Amino acid sequence: MTKTVLVVDDDPTQRRLIQSVLERDGFAVAHAESGEAAIARLQSGAAADIVLLDLVMPGMSGQDTLKEMRARSFTTPVIVVTATGGIDTVVQAMQSGACDFFIKPASPERIIVSIRNALSMGALKGEVDRLKKHSSGRMTFADMVGDSPAMTMIKRMGERAAKSSIPILITGESGVGKEVIARAVHGSSDRAGKPFVAVNCGAIPENLVESILFGHEKGSFTGATDKHVGKFQEANGGTLFLDEVGELPLDTQVKLLRALQESEIDPVGSKRSIKVDVRIVSATNRDPAQAVKDGLFREDLFYRLNVFPMEAPALRDRREDIPALLDHFVRRFNVEEGKTVVGASAETLAFLTAYDWPGNVRQLENAVYRAIVLADAPYLQPYDFPAISGVAAPPPEALASPSGRAPVQLPTAEQLVAEMSADAPVRILDNRGHLRTLEEIERDLIQLAIEIYAGHMSEVARRLGIGRSTLYRKVREQGLDDVLKGSEDEADGSETAAA
């Protein structure tokens, strides 16, 4: 997905200058002419992946804007922009939560590098937070990616079920993310922070199923050289996720039913039962009702597990979530692989959204992983997904740039100044992109005002907000007597013709 940069600056010239640089590199740009406008935009939920914030603005200053953003818990990365570069100013901004700064006027390369570094740091922080939540069992439905109607329904149902200890059976095709839903149920319940134990019932050897689930005593069978605590005891106080529960042997299903009904287990070789407090969430990619009819699944166990059924939607039934999922995986694999991919091109995103994804989210995840490893361009191209797009990567010599397109040249400061000065009657920047002196700008402004108002000095003074005597003094100091005389002659001629 295209990243959006919010440029906060009261100077429209600076905003256009930065917009020209960012759009050439594939970023979307939004504007805010004041700190108040920036806060209002963020409050509205409008897209903003990073903020470029000018420190010197009328009204709410950049420092105050940054403090207000952090006070309102906006975590969007902020890069501060300053024309002074004072160390105290920069230190205060960094202490207030800015991640970087640059001094105006900055080169296009400096701006792009700063933004990409900030995005990379944001992705790293997000990945660290995700791993912390995952390992501590505190992942909630708010952490699940996707806002399609199908996913919104799943989140609402899951949040309601999480508030109780009701057994949940999650059905859906392979790869749709049933374990992610189970973790969200656990993290949204009062068992959050306690053990979450996942067991793939289809991957356990049949002769070890009972031992792995319920544990065994030392010497209870050949090879049992030590006492083993089963998955039920590991999950005590927390949640036990039984993935592919339909693969359990029938004799194990009987013991599982007793464990659920009595809240106690019988380890292999043990002479007494052990009480356990476990919340059960199970999942299957088969039709459990049909498995009951076929005699492959006990009917009484099915009713015990299927108290609160949830069906996870296939990815093709929530295509609108694909851009968000793609962005999530790009950020994650960028961190894992040390890459700096920004996102996917519009063409790539279009065919990925149109694809049916028989392997669902797991297939998309693996496809993005491969693309990130091989990608050399900022944006993923169709040839980065050859198995899906059918497009082969062009030979290296055919690539004009890492993206496979003609190289995008960032404009020089002189080019940007020329572009921006084409319709500006008074230039703010010189030919090298630096601010002109106040005296030079003032001279051009007075000359322009005299020409526009045809030498009528009272009107010129009123429009400039200064007195007539001050205006005449500045005209003499700036050497504009000839301009004034010519304008006065034109004014006199106009008045004579009118008479």
Q: What is the pLDDT of residue 443?
A: 87
Residue 117 within a domain: yes
d(CA 111, CA 102): 8
Q: Are residues 32 and 46 in the same domain?
A: yes
Residue with tokens 């939540």: 133
Residues 202 and 90 in one domain: no
Domain endpoint, select from 398, 420, 448 = 398
Task: Give yes or no: residues 293 and 330 share one domain.
Answer: no
Query: What confidence score (pLDDT) does residue 58 get?
Result: 86
pLDDT (tens place) for every residue of the chain, 499 residues total: 678 899 999 888 888 888 888 888 878 899 999 989 999 999 888 878 899 998 888 888 888 898 888 888 888 889 988 876 567 777 778 888 888 888 777 788 888 888 888 887 777 777 788 878 888 888 999 999 999 999 999 999 999 999 999 999 999 999 999 999 999 999 999 999 999 999 999 999 988 899 999 998 888 787 777 888 999 999 999 999 999 999 999 999 999 999 999 999 989 888 889 999 999 999 999 999 999 999 999 999 999 999 999 999 999 999 999 999 999 999 899 888 888 888 888 899 999 999 999 999 999 999 999 999 988 888 899 999 988 887 777 766 555 444 444 444 444 545 545 554 444 567 777 666 567 788 888 888 888 888 887 788 888 888 888 888 888 888 888 888 776 665 555 554 444 343 3
Angle at alpha carbon of residue 278, lines to 274 and 284, rounded to 5°: 120
Helix (H, G, I), strand (E, B) or coil at 197: strand
DSSP 406-463: ---PPPPHHHHHHHHHTT-SS-SB-TTSPBPPHHHHHHHHHHHHHHHTTT-HHHHHHH
Q: Could you tell me the pTM of the whole model? A: 0.67
Contacts with 275 (C-beta within 8 Å, 6 or more apart), sequence order: 263, 264
Show contacts of 469-476: CB within 8 Å, 24+ apart.
Answer: 471/446, 474/442, 474/446, 475/446, 475/450
Q: Identify the pLDDT of residue 99.
A: 85
- Provide the residue range defining the domain that includes 41: 4-133
What's the CA gap between 188 and 281, in Å, rounded? 13
Q: Which of 203, 263, 199, 187 minimizes the C-alpha distance to 230?
A: 199
Query: Is 325 contained in some domain?
Result: yes
pLDDT at residue 494, as a whole number: 45
Q: Are 57 and 164 in the same domain?
A: no
57 and 175 assigned to the same domain: no
Instruction: Give the residue from 37, 47, 42, 51 showing the smallest Cα distance to 7.
Output: 51
Same domain, 177 and 301: yes
Angle at 272 between CA 268 and CA 277, to 5 degrees: 85
Same domain, 168 and 302: yes
Q: Are residues 185 and 124 in the same domain?
A: no
What total number of domains does the chain contain? Answer: 4
Q: Are residues 167 and 198 in the same domain?
A: yes
Give the separation between CA 215 and CA 232, rounded to whole angstroms. Answer: 8
Determine, yes or no, domain membership for 424: no
Angle at 75 between CA 90 and CA 117, to 5 degrees: 60
Write down which residue in 133, 151, 181 finishes a domain: 133
- Whether residue 405 lies inside any domain: the answer is no
Residue in this structure with the two tokens 């601010």, named with its chain if needed = 435
Q: Considering the domain boundaries, does residue 441 fall inside one?
A: yes
**Three-point CA angle 398, 403, 405, nearest 5°:** 60
- 3-class DSSP state of 65: helix
Q: Which of 318, 311, 209, 326 is CA-nearest to residue 268?
A: 209
Asked, for residue 409, whether it belongs to a domain, the answer is no
126 within some domain: yes
pLDDT digits 0-9 by tens, 1-16? 678 899 999 888 888 8
Query: Domain holding 385: CATH number?
Result: 1.10.8.60
Gap between the Cα atoms of 424 and 468, Å rounded: 26
What is the rounded distance in angstroms from the CA atom of residue 424 to the CA atom of residue 4? 27
CB–CB of 227/217 below 8 Å? yes
Give me the amino acid identity at 296.
L
Same domain, 224 and 269: yes
Nearest to 436 by CA among 427, 447, 448: 427
**Dihedral angle sign, alpha carbons of residues 22, 28, 32, 35:** negative
Judge if 302 and 350 occupy the same domain. no
Q: Domain boundary at 313, 330, 352, which?
A: 313
What does the pLDDT read at residue 407? Answer: 43
Q: Does residue 348 belong to any structural domain of this protein? A: yes
The encoded tokens of residue 55 equal 């420190």
CA distance 494 to 471: 23
Average pLDDT of every residue of the chain = 84
**CATH at residue 60:** 3.40.50.2300
Which contiguous run of DSSP H or E holds residue 329?
A: helix 322-337
Residue 145 sits in the same domain as residue 65? no
Q: What is the CA radius of gyration of the chain?
A: 33
Task: Give burial (CB, 10 Å; 0-12/13-18/19+) of 480.
Answer: middle
Which strand (E) or helix (H) includes residue 212? helix 209-214
